Amino acid sequence: MDKEIKHIGVKEGKLLLFGGVYSNLQALEKLISIAQEAGVKPENCISTGDLTGYCAQPEETIQLFQKWGALSIAGNVELQLASDSEDCGCDFKSGSRCDDFSKMWFPYTKGHLSQQSLDWMKEIPEYISFDYAGKKVTVVHGNYGNTSEFVFKSNATESKERCFNETKSDIIIAGHCGLPFHQSIKDKQWLNPGVIGMPANDGTTRVWYMLLDAIDGEVNFTHQSFEYDAETAQKLMYKNHLPEAYGDTLTSGIWDNMEILPEIEKMGQGIPIHFNQEQKDSIKPKTQKKMANTYYDPADLRKFRKITEWSEELGTKFFDYYGKVFEEGALSAREKSLIALAVSHVVKCPYCIDAYTKDGLQKGITKEEMMEAVHVGAAIESGATLVHGVQMMNKYNKLSM
């Protein structure tokens, strides 16, 4: 693989990492004020790309970003705009909702950018690397060699390892997928700071970034979130006839669809993300009501991936298998979702019931179909119980002879 990485030397001091501004001027304005208050220099603020996108102010966003003086690599959107493409290059499935929406927002973005902004994008490197606290850090958008690859915590293990090896990096900073996460792979770190232009599908309007600091020769990182004037960003999307579903996401915190998400990440929809205890105590989704303590905590669904921490090899193999099972095959994804919902009730897993009810809604499964599937599961479970009654009858007859 021969992809040029621009090395920018040594970085010192605190770093602020973010991605996916998506033409959301209001979010960028808030982030700049956060960086200034934290004393992070503009040249230590680094974007993983997609400065423009779904929202209504692409030119204003690019001009503000240039004035700020932060660094960025090119996301798929910048690469496509710089090459005068007619497509966003997001790698959405043809005919999907995201693909249809991109046919609305991408021409709008392209048509509202000045020639100066387009020329500036042509100069943005696709990858950058730097040295930090004795570690080599490489910044990619999706992945090295595939800017549009959707890399989540639960998938692409081999792809991540290949990225570390081919870039000879200790730390990879990546974007594109829209969800913040961190993952240790052997002795290396894959860090995704999340995006600031859209919420993280967790039922809150918060958007995400990350802070890095070098302390005693070690690289420390923290996930951070903030609220901003999402209502104004939403109104501007409506006013300019951009996808209303994306506009609604800004204030609901729920993605219109989960087409790009692996099964594990789908389960987290509407469950607030918590990386720090203080966030857990202080932030709740707008629609969440105070609930009594229960044995099953819905927030534990987001921790499902943590089972790999106690058995990495077996856990990783399970998640690889799990993801493969739900790919399209002889059965459609819709049919598999209904089966999963029925089985969820039979095994009485509240996490699975929540996850596959949401998944079914995303796939257009009606409430009547869902309930019918539950009855099928109940009938099989009841029949299985009753058929064991034959064993009881046989044993009784034998003992009473």
For 227-245, how does the pLDDT look when each residue is reduced to its tens digit (9 = 90+)?
999 999 999 999 999 999 9
Tell me how many domains the chain contains: 2
In a domain, 60, yes or no: yes
| 296 in any annotated domain | no
In a domain, 309, yes or no: no
241/361 same-domain check: no
Q: Per-residue pLDDT for 2 more than 70?
A: no
Same-domain check for residues 26 and 157: yes
Is residue 247 located within the same domain as residue 362? no
Distance CA 355, CA 302 (A): 11
User: Of 282, 297, 319, which marks where a domain is finished?
Assistant: 282
Q: Give yes or no: residues 254 and 184 share one domain.
A: yes
Question: Are 344 and 259 contained in the same domain?
Answer: no
Does residue 381 sit in the same domain as residue 256?
no
Distance between CA atoms of residues 85 and 235, nearest Å:
28
CATH number at residue 103: 3.60.21.10
Left, alpha or beta for 295 (phi > 0: left; psi -120 to 50: alpha)?
alpha
Residue 288 confidence (pLDDT): 44
Which of these three, 227, 259, 282, is where a domain ends?
282
- Tens of pLDDT along 57-82? 999 999 999 999 999 999 999 999 99
**Which residue intervals of 230-349 are DSSP H helices?**
230-239, 244-252, 263-266, 277-282, 312-325, 333-346
The percentage of the chain sitting over the pLDDT mark of 90, rounded to a whole number, equals 66
Strand positions, DSSP E, 73-152: 128-132, 135-139
Give the residue among 192, 163, 158, 157 at the shortest CA–CA distance from 177: 192
CATH number of the CATH domain containing 369: 1.20.1290.10
**Which pLDDT score, from 0 to 100, does residue 319 have?**
82
Antiparallel, parallel or unpaired: β 128-132 and 6-10: parallel
Q: Which of 282, 299, 315 is the last residue of a domain?
A: 282
Residues 261 and 363 in one domain: no
Q: Which pLDDT does position 279 carry in this prediction?
A: 38
State mean pLDDT over 188-195. Answer: 97
Structural domain boundaries enclosing 222: 6-282
pLDDT tens digits for 329-360? 999 989 999 999 999 999 888 888 888 888 88
Q: Is 255 contained in some domain?
A: yes
* Same domain as 360, residue 239: no
Residue 289 counted as domain residue: no
- Give the model's pLDDT for residue 267: 85
In a domain, 321, yes or no: no
Instruction: Return the pLDDT at 277.
Output: 40
336: its two tokens: 């598999």
Sheet containing 6-10: give its strands across: 6-10, 128-132, 135-139, 171-173, 188-192, 181-185
Q: Do residue 253 and residue 369 come from a single domain?
A: no
Residue 152 sits in the same domain as residue 267? yes
Do residues 237 and 342 both lie within one domain?
no
Radius of gyration over every alpha carbon of the chain, rounded to an integer in angstroms = 24
The stretch 109-129 carries a mean pLDDT of: 97
Establish if 92 belongs to a structural domain: yes
> What is the rounded average pLDDT for all residues in the chain?
90
50 and 186 housed in the same domain: yes
pLDDT at 16: 98
Residue 271 lies in a domain: yes
Q: What is the pLDDT of residues 269-325, one digit of tens each?
A: 888 998 864 333 333 444 444 444 566 777 677 677 777 778 888 887 888 888 888
